[in-house]
Amino acid sequence: MLKIFRNIRRKLLSENKTGKYLKYAIGEIVLVVIGILIALSINNWNENKKTNANIKNLLVALTNDLKQDTLLIYERLPFINKHYAFNETLRKRIAEPNATVDTLIKIMRYEFNPNWKAQLNYNTNAYSSLNQTGLLEQLPSTLQTKIKNFYSKKSAMRDRVEKTTNDYQEKITSYVDTYTFGSTAIHDQGTLIDSLVWKNINFGHLAASFQGISNFKRILFAETRDELNFSLKGSRQLLVHINNYLNND
């Protein structure tokens, strides 16, 4: 093809047909530009195709992550609700008009469980990949905003739970350095140690310890419950929006 073009140019020049040569040259330039534009269009089409495929794959992975997260939440929520309710029961018993020091001792020595469970480890690989690759910005603004808002609020709620957990840990550390408790199998300190610890105790300190710990436990489990419920509801809603996008794409 290039050889043909060169021969045409030589012929026109040899025949001293400058006007026709200029027209031909312009036409050749136009053809080259059109060829370049076509090549760029094909390249852009291929790149867009790859980008869309990557976005689709990551969105499918994101739906799988959200589904796995809902299973984790379903498994954890009953534990959180149960222990929150139990903690409220203990607080209610202490607040009763007929409550005595013996009531407090019985609760703290035999019934109260200061333990807690760490936060769930959610599946965030797909969301992180969408963010880091910049593909999240390629999504329609509505879906993009829903995804960002969900994970942003979820992260803020988890940070708040983490802070309350740290505060709760400090109070628990102080408590277990002072008292024994027998509500869990792993804390088997034996009769001798248990009896010596509870033989001469400061009732005011014990009451203050219960108040502080049970307050923080109430806040901790309430915040954890709120975060789990938000994540469960938000995951369900996000799954609907993502699936609608994938099905209509």
pLDDT tier for residue 14 given thresholds of 50, 70 and 90:
low
Q: Is residue 51 part of a domain?
A: no
Q: Is residue 88 part of a domain?
A: yes
* Nearest one of 228, 211, 193 to 90, comparing CA atoms: 211
**What's the total number of domains in the chain?**
1
Q: Is residue 230 part of a domain?
A: yes
Encode pLDDT of 155-199 as tens digits: 999 999 999 999 998 888 888 888 887 655 655 667 788 888 888
Is 204 a residue whose pLDDT tops 90? Answer: yes
Q: Is residue 180 part of a domain?
A: yes
For 15-32, what is the mean pLDDT? 57
Q: Is residue 9 part of a domain?
A: no
Q: Is residue 189 part of a domain?
A: yes
Q: Are 180 and 197 in contact, with CB atoms under 8 Å apart?
A: yes
Determine the Cα–Cα distance for residues 162 and 168; give it in Å rounded to an integer.
10
Residue 49 tokens, joined: 């195709």
Task: Give the structural domain span for 138.
Answer: 69-248
Is 2 a residue whose pLDDT tops 50? Answer: no
**pTM of the entire structure?**
0.78
Q: Is residue 181 part of a domain?
A: yes
- Residue 166: C-alpha distances to residues 57, 172, 192 (Å): 38, 10, 32
Is 24 a residue whose pLDDT tops 70? Answer: no
Encode pLDDT of 76-96 as tens digits: 999 999 999 999 999 999 999
Residue 95 tokens, joined: 């607040």
Identity (one letter) of the amino acid at 105? I
- Please name the residues in contact with 133: beta carbons below 8 A apart, sequence gap of 6 or more: 54, 58
**Chain Cα centroid distance, residue 190:** 42
